[in-house]
Structure 1
Amino acid sequence: MSPHKTKPTSEHTSPVLQVEQLDIAFRRGASWTPVVNGLSFEVSRGETLAIVGESGSGKSVSAMSIMGLLPERSSRVGGSIRLRGRELLGLPDADLSAIRGNEIAMIFQEPMTSLNPVMRIGEQIAEPLYQHRGLSAAAAKAEALRLMERVRIPAAAQRYADYPHQFSGGMRQRVMIAMALACNPSVLIADEPTTALDVTIQAQILALIKELQKEEQMAVVFITHDMGVVAEVADRTLVMYRGDRVEAGATADIFAQPQQPYTRALLSAVPELGSMAGFAQPHPFPIYDMARGLSDTSSPLKDSVQSGPPWLLEVEGLSARFDVRSPLLRRVTGRVHAVENVSFQLQRGETLGIVGESGCGKSTTGRLVTGLLSATAGQIRIEGREVSQLSGLERARKIQMIFQDPYSSLDPRQSVGDALTEPLRVHGMAKKADCADIAARLLAKVGLPADAATRMPHEFSGGQRQRVCIARALAMQPGTIVADEAVSALDVSVKVQIVNLLLELQQEMGLGFLFISHDMAVVERISHRVAVMYMGEIVEIGSRADVFANPRHPYTRRLLEAVPIPDPRRRRERHMAPRELKTPYKPRDFVSPRRSYHQAGPGHLYMEADDDWS
């Protein structure tokens, strides 16, 4: 790190950031709607304060007010925000601009909306170095490259000139972290910085932030709804609910003896790896009712018995390669080997979890089997029939998909009722006069009232919108549903409800789920079998119990070791050694090597590890 900004190590004594009686309101027409009420907290050098709560609790809005990023005309901020004793509220824009990105920095939740889409990645990282540290172009580029390597962006020199759309979601978040750390700020506000990241990358980023915090004695405000992350990183925790501070204290005390029902509800909804030990079948999450406490009256799910072909989905030797062309003559210069020789089967009433890091090919696999992408090689059979033999209608009636972001997958100009029945109307499977009754039945199936059919997507919460997407997937009465990160963006309590809903629907209808996720604890809860993907290949596949209790491939073990433990008493010192990230980009004439598998037990297969894993 740069020596001119290095601070001496000290105990947590003097607060760097002090927030007192913060009130925030937004203009709604002629009136003002309060969203944060009298919030107070402080954070000292070298200390991490976690602010937790579900969507709409006011935690991100509070962070935006600290940065001075709320719109002046439609927001009203009262109280006091002091950085090293200097009042920030009311400062001129020029003074705030000199502070933002230099003394106080922020990592935002959604990197794609925070990065300039027409500006190269390297230039965006270098920009604060020009602005705040006055580095020359050459020095700023060298420092930007060092930061890119520090946050584990592979082939940094080659990717310096790339644009944001050429990066995966996890890679874009690493860019945001590099930008925030460029000037070694005194205060770092991290707003859900690891929500979209895989567990191994999350562990590395958390370790990186802690390492930099220790070196620089940064004060960190960590905003999240992931209580496992809170347990790993936070010295103190503040819980928010609907704009109010509900509870605050030492993290260990909050986890051991939560005083408020809402805090207890948050903690009860945390999926914990290993909680399925002893269960042969998936098991619904217990639900915490703030009036009655924890309720776990559900019993383990039994196998669904359904008529019809036993295999809903059979995939054999599936591969997908995407051409990379030169910018001038558009010649094929190489190929991205996104999926490589993948084989698996899915039977009725079964959930196959597919896990792995961003870019491993799990989402591409889901899109291949649903027909959203075309395979380069391999066979896909749905209910015993080759995909090539199925019409579009037949395929739609046999397999459907639930996407990660329920808002972007719903037409904002279309009512929920129309969204649910449109596939039926397009394929001539329902008359317009019957659509209202059909929509009401589908909504009831996912626990929503019939009058929800007349409302628009923006009128629903994130969890409700995901229920609508599940109902839409059920409209064609498919046997198989591909759930691609379907609960990753949801709050913990909503995630629990959606997982329980999927399990209930599976039990009732004999559905087969291809559950794609990077949340290992949720995968353990919902899956019968698990496939682990790395660089487009399945490196291990077997029953959930075998894969989680007896992982045989080094990558599977690495994934499991990276999962945060939601217990501050078991906090581990992270030593996630950075590994050189391989790239799926290969030369045009590259021939993939033939892999061999070993059998660890009945149905439990794992790939022979490469030398670099030993």
Structure 2
Amino acid sequence: MSIAETTKKPGLSISGLNISFRNKDGWTSVVRNLGFDIAPGETVAIVGESGSGKSVTALSVLGLLPQQSTRIEGSIRLGDKELLSLSPKALKALRGNEIAMIFQEPMTSLNPTMCIGDQIAESIIAHRGISKAEAKVEAIRLMEKVHIPSAARRYGEYPHQFSGGMRQRVMIAIALACKPALLIADEPTTALDVTIQAQVLNLIKELQEEEGMAVLFITHDMGVVAEVADRMVVMYRGDVVEEGTTTEIFANARHPYTKALLSAVPQLGSMSGSSDPQPFAIYDINTGLAAEASVLKSTVDTSEILLDVKDLSVRFPVQQTILGKVTARVHAVENVSLTLARGETLAIVGESGSGKSTTGKLITGLLHPTAGKVEICGKPMRSDTRQSLSRSVQMIFQDPFASLNPRLTVGRAITEPLRIHKLATEKEQDEIAASLLTRVGLSPDIAKRYPHEFSGGQRQRICVARTLALKPSVIIADEAVSALDVSVKAQVVNLLLELQQEMQLGFIFISHDMAVVERISHRVAVMYLGEIVEIGPRAAIFSNPVHPYTRRLIEAVPVPDPSRRRDRHKIADSEIRSPVRPGDYVPPARSYREVSPGHLVQDAGPEWAA
């Protein structure tokens, strides 16, 4: 598309935007005096943490805020159209046609009962008035355009048959079906693995260049902003606190909140020369200055092995004949062996489907292995010992809200493990809850309140307190900070590190965030398709990644520096292979070589050949 053709498309202009919500006490202002422009072909990022007003702004552009409880003042113009004065019918015609949106979670945005191709075609038929046959041809073309392999064959597949990254590609195809003038991307990569995130960001940028769209990108990830945005608008509690080009703001941020956001982003390579995990510096959003971070000294006791996993495997049957013969299995975890010493953090990294979380559930006894063994503090995990050993190994899950019973007060939730194991009286439980809340940095007074009354970071602290109730030796943290804002993430990570040093805990830290892993781990295990392909000391893994998959993970991490934007052609445009194997499949014997002391690498098979 030529420059002349591109400039014909209208851009977005917002001025004097004020948004208020009605509640029982009257009107509450959530966005105040917001104004910015997006030119055709330009990407503007709205940046800020939860509650800053980012998504509310996007929904106001689309006219999706509830009319009865929302008051909107100001101007939102797309080209020569004033969107705030359009009728609901006119707005409906505009949505999906001239303005399109990609949401954060594709699985909740797609209809699970419709095949993927028909969902793309539905949007084309609705806005372009063409026949079903023509819409199908166009849908396949769009699937190919967003790099979905074997598009014609996969047209009839359903959302659950696609990976997270491929589902997000489908959402992009739907968004681009009618060649919109404006694309709104609301945290489109937050739930994705780092390699898939890189692919999606590249794809959005590539398609933007082809179509000349204006892009409004909403995120709290400053690394992503550096990758995609030409300009950025920083919001804090409904106000714009800073605006400018991405390069200018990254080089010379002026507002304390912007400085705090930039400084809270972990950067690969920041731990070079340090052998011990280190807490994040916590920045004051009012001053932009960092509080002095405590320095932790490693207290790993290699003479005491808390966790010993040998040749652990689990396979799930997915296809059976009418007579019950298994014809296919998911090889979720295959021959995994690892150890964890007292006071040590072993990070397990890899993409979705690599077997990280399944390994964690096998260790805690939530799943039964097909083969192999797990020993906790020298005692084997078996059906008859599972309940007693569960006191020694506990798990922190990714979503704290889903992990807490909404009908239980915080105090009851924390002490529930004590009641199950009959370890304390009612009076003792109250005292223990108060003590644990204090330990995780919360007031004991909140024990009588309910989970919905807290922020995400506070709920995760409550989950940590509950985990500590049984005084475990090993804690499995399964993506425990991935859903949190950057500043809250830093606080929770620091809390875990402090608790580890104080209580000599062993941590299995499951994550796909390589920058956080580098900051807090002693050792790192990289998993792919259920197998450990590389394991070793953190410094060795990050300074000398040997396996191609490890290198791919590290190279895909967004760099929070606009001057170092990644060459988009370097990112492998692929998804993790399926772990489903025939029923009689026998995994090949794997061999490992020692690159340096404790640094083991699986010999790469032919699938990794250049």
TM-score, structure 1 normalization: 0.94
Q: Superposition pairs for residues 481-520 of structure 1, below 5 Å?
A: 481-520=475-514
> 1:203-234 CA distances to partner (integer Å, 9 max, x unpaired)?
11111111001111111111000000101111
Partner of 1:542: 536
Cα 1:142–1:333 shift into 2, 3 Å:
farther
User: In the alignment, does 2:102 pair up with 1:111?
Assistant: no
Q: What displacement does 1:594 show?
A: 1.2
SS of the residue corresponding to residue 263 of structure 1 reads helix
Gaps of 5+ in 2: none
- In structure 1, the residue matched to 2:361 is 367
User: In 2, are the aligned partners of 1:154 and 1:580 still within 8 Å (CA)?
Assistant: no
Count of residue pairs brought into register by the alignment: 608
The question of 1:612 aligning with 2:607 is answered yes
Alignment of 1:322-471 (within 5 A): 322-325=316-319, 332-388=326-382, 391-471=385-465
1:49-95 deviation per Cα after TM superposition (whole angstroms, max 9, x unaligned): 01000000000010011111111122222211111120111322222
Work out the CA distance in 2 between the residues paired with 1:145 and 1:585.
Answer: 26
User: CA 1:139–1:193 in structure 2 vs 1: closer, same or farther (change >3 Å)?
Assistant: same
- 8 Å CA contact 1:12–1:47 kept in 2: the answer is no
1:407 counterpart SS class: helix
Q: Match of 2:107, SS? A: helix
Looking at structure 2, the residues matched to 41 and 450 of structure 1 have their Cα atoms a distance apart, in angstroms, of 44
1:564 corresponds, among 553, 558, 566, to 558
Distance 1:260 1:172, change over 3 A: same
Cα distance change on mapping 1:305 and 1:515 into 2, 3 Å: closer
- 2:40 is matched with which residue? 45
CA contact (8 A) 1:268 1:294 kept: no
> What is the CA deviation profile of residues 558-603 of structure 1, one whole-angstrom value per residue up to 9, with x for unaligned ones?
1111111101122222111323642111122221111111110111
Tell me the equivalent position of 1:74: 69
**Alignment correspondent of 1:180:** 175
**2:203 aligns to what?**
208
Q: 2 CA distance for matches of 1:98 and 1:239? A: 31
- Equivalent in 214, 224, 228 of residue 229 of structure 1: 224
* Counterpart selection for 2:190 from 191, 195, 205: 195
1:361-408 deviations in Å (ceiling 9; x for gaps): 111111111112221111111111110165343222111111111111
By how many angstroms is 1:162 displaced? 4.2
Cα 1:327/1:410, change in 2 over 3 Å? farther
Residues 115 and 158 of structure 2 are in contact (CA less than 8 Å); yes or no, is this contact kept in structure 1?
A: yes
- Deviation per residue, 1:131-190 (Å, 9 max, x gap): 123343334334434444544556655654444445454443333223222222211100
Is the Cα contact below 8 Å between 2:256 and 2:287 reproduced in 1? no
Maintained 8 Å contact 2:284/2:291: no
| 443-452 vs 134-143, greater mean Cα deviation | 134-143
Aligned partner of 1:362: which letter? K
2:16 maps to 1:21: yes
Return the letter of the residue paired with 1:64: L
**What one-letter code is carried by the residue in structure 2 that aligns with 1:546?**
A
The offset of 1:284, in angstroms, is 0.7
Q: Secondary structure at the match of 1:493?
A: helix
Match of 1:65, SS? helix
Are 1:15 and 1:43, in contact at CA under 8 Å, matched by a contact in 2? no
Picking from 259, 263, 270, the partner of 1:264 is 259
Say whether the 8 Å CA contact 2:518–2:542 is kept in structure 1.
yes
In the other structure, the counterpart of 2:289 is 294
> Equivalents in 1 of 2:191, 2:568: separation in Å?
20
Which residue of structure 2 aligns with residue 123 of structure 1? 118
Residues 7 and 216 of structure 1 are in contact (CA less than 8 Å); yes or no, is this contact kept in structure 2?
A: no
1:151, 1:178 within 8 Å by CA — same for their partners in 2? yes
Q: Residue 159 and residue 367 in structure 1: after superposition, are their counterparts in 2 closer, same or farther (change >3 A)? A: farther
Query: Which ranges of structure 1 fall in alignment gaps of 5 or more residues?
Result: 1-5
* Contact 1:403–1:409 under 8 Å retained in 2: yes
Q: Give the Cα–Cα distance (whole angstroms) in 1 for the partners of residues 521 and 499 of structure 2.
A: 14
3-state SS, counterpart of residue 89 of structure 1: helix
Name the counterpart of 2:88.
Answer: 93
CA deviations on 1:271-318 (whole Å, 9 max, x unpaired) are 1111000110101111112455433533542222669x7111111111
The answer for the alignment partner of 1:35 in structure 2 is 30
- Bigger Cα displacement from structure 2, 580-589 vs 10-19: 10-19
Cα distance in 2 for partners of 1:541, 1:220 equals: 40
Structure-1 separation of matches of 2:516 and 2:118: 38
Q: Aligned partners of 1:330, 1:38: CA distance in 2, in Å? A: 65
Q: Distance in 2 between matches of 1:34 and 1:442?
A: 36
**Residues 317 and 261 (structure 1 numbering): CA distance in 2 closer, same or farther, change over 3 Å?**
same
Change (3 A) 1:390 1:173: farther
Q: CA deviation at 1:122?
A: 2.9
Offset at residue 118 of structure 1 (A): 3.1
Amino acid of the structure 1 residue aligned with 2:460: Q
Alpha-carbon distance in 2 for matches of 1:282, 1:516: 16
SS at match of 1:116: coil
CA distance in 2, matches of 1:419, 1:430: 14
159 and 328 in structure 1: CA distance in 2 versus 1, 3 angstrom threshold: farther
Is the partner of 1:26 in helix, strand or coil?
A: strand
Between stretches 586-595 and 52-61, larger displacement belongs to: 586-595
Structure 1, 414-423 or 431-440: larger mean CA deviation: 431-440
- Following superposition, the deviation at residue 526 of structure 1 comes to 0.7
Secondary structure of 1:388's counterpart equals coil
Q: Distance in 2 between matches of 1:143 and 1:512?
A: 54
Distance in 2 between the 1:497 and 1:471 partners? 14
Question: Contact conserved, 1:281 with 1:300, CA < 8 A, in 2?
Answer: no
Q: How many Å apart are 1:259 and its aligned residue?
A: 1.1
Letter in 1 for 2:507: F
What percentage of aligned pairs have identical amino acids?
Answer: 64
Alignment of 1:149-160 (within 5 A): 149-153=144-148, 156=151, 159-160=154-155
> Quick one: distance in 1 between partners of 2:394 and 2:148?
34
Instruction: Give the drift of 1:554.
Output: 0.9
* Residue 285 of structure 1: aligned partner: 280
Match of 2:593, SS state, is strand
Q: 1:304 aligns with which of 293, 299, 305?
A: 299
Within 2, Cα distance between the matches of 1:213 and 1:152?
15
1:61 maps to: 56
Matched-pair contact (CA < 8 Å) for 2:257–2:286:
no
The SS at the match of 1:196 is: coil
Q: Match of 1:321, as an amino acid?
A: R
Is the alpha carbon distance of 1:13 and 1:267 closer, same or farther for their aligned partners in structure 2, counting shifts above 3 Å?
farther
